[in-house]
Amino acid sequence: MPSAVGVVTFPGSLDDRDVMQAVSLAGGTAVPLWHGDSDLRGVDAIVLPGGFSYGDYLRCGAIARFAPVMVEVVAAAGRGMPVLGICNGFQVLCESHLLPGALLRNAGLHYVCRDQALRVESTATAWTTGLEPGARIVAPVKHGEGRYTADTETLDRLEGEGRVVVRYVEGNPNGSLRDIAGITNEAGNVVGLMPHPEHACDPLVGASADGLALFASVLTAVVGAA
């Protein structure tokens, strides 16, 4: 039985189907999870996908944080279950305080949609063991509110503890501090990314297949933990 990766659908999620496809391409079983449920259906890992949960009303991710499923996601993350938040999912993880900092309106105000070069900074997370440290990978970004912000002390701690997971190279699309594109928690099981690895899993329809390694990494991680 392949490892099961739960993909949460909030009202307004857009990329849940692409994440499920990416999980399948990586050899796992994707399990749909509903925002209103308090049941994780026995999954081994969880992805919060991109989109506009609850219309992005108030702040991106602010209302999704209080969805019934998030109580279970926060508890599971605390037990060490791998959790990946992509784009809006990253915003939800920050609002839930599973990750430090916040994501604000892009410095240039424009919604940015493009293939983005990234440098892999940490392969010590549940989602990045299959990547090469320092490697240049390409994945799409598509967001209006991706400017990662935290106080200097938090930024220094993230850098010092090796918790910056990926950084923008060849141009920062949103003005994020220290070119941060993704971070992890202290335990390395919770990762938030603004770029979309699920849209970079098949060279036929994406700029690269670099994103597949993230989904393959977590499948290795959960098999190793079992």
Positions marked active-site:
87, 196, 198
Only one residue has tokens 């060490």, namely 80
User: In 10 A of CB 137, how many CB atoms?
Assistant: 22
Closest to another protein by CB, 24 or 154: 154
State the minimum distance, in angstroms, from the CB of residue 94 to another protein. 7
In the complex, what is the shortest distance from the CB of residue 146 to another protein, in angstroms, rounded to a whole number? 12
Q: Which residues bind another protein (CB under 8 A)?
A: 58-59, 62-63, 66, 94-95, 100-102, 104-109, 147, 149-150, 175
CB neighbour list of residue 71: distance below 8 Å, 6 or more residues apart? 38
Among the listed residues 152, 119, 145, the one whose alpha carbon sits nearest the alpha carbon of residue 50: 145
* Cβ distance to another protein smaller for residue 128 or 174: 174
Q: Which is nearer to another protein, 16 or 95 (CB)?
A: 95
Comparing CB distances to another protein, the nearer of 29 and 149 is: 149
Kindly give the pairing relationship between strand 147-149 and strand 102-104: antiparallel
Specify whether the CB–CB gap between 160 and 166 falls below 8 A: no
Report in angstroms how near the CB of residue 107 gets to another protein at its nearest.
5
Q: What are phi and psi of 214, to 5 degrees?
A: -70, -40
Shortest distance in whole angstroms from residue 223 CB to another protein: 35
Instruction: Identify the residue whose tokens are 């599971």.
Output: 76
